[in-house]
Amino acid sequence: QVHLVESGGGSVQAGGSLRLNCTASGYTYSIACMGWFRQAPGKEREGVARIWRQSGSTVYADSVKGRFTISRDIAKNTLYLQMNSLKPEDTAMYHCAAARYGSTCQLFESDYNYWGQGTQVTVSS
């Protein structure tokens, strides 16, 4: 089992920045990749960014490319999401997720086995 805990959310004005953190514990050696997803009220959960744990290769949703950066610190078992130039439409609950080896690790919910409880990000105009 893998346990994920997010932190770093909050309220910010449009154009501002936030950094989200996600700390993993448990059988972290089983993690192939990690990602960030978000869900706004009344909307489906969407994939934001993903990173392969070993190689560091990343992929981003078009809506956040050039503004968000996903990274990880393997030694600390921590995943990050640096969010710059935030927009009101980025307002959502942000969840980190982890996938075991064997997953294709795309930005689909079904690719991930473990989920954190989420951290709220609110961007005001």
Q: What pLDDT is recorded for position 19?
A: 98
Q: What is the pLDDT along the chain (125 residues), one digit of tens a residue?
A: 999 999 999 999 999 999 999 999 999 999 999 999 999 999 999 999 999 999 999 999 999 999 999 999 999 999 999 999 999 999 999 999 999 999 999 999 999 999 999 999 999 99
In this structure, is the dihedral angle defined by the CA atoms of residues 48, 11, 98 and 21, taken in order, positive or negative? Answer: positive
> Residue 26's pLDDT is what?
96
Q: What is the pLDDT of residue 75?
A: 95
34 vs 11, 26, 42, 55, 74, CA distance in Å?
24, 15, 25, 12, 11
Q: Where are the beta strands (DSSP E) in 1-77?
A: 2-7, 10-13, 18-26, 31-39, 46-52, 58-60, 68-73
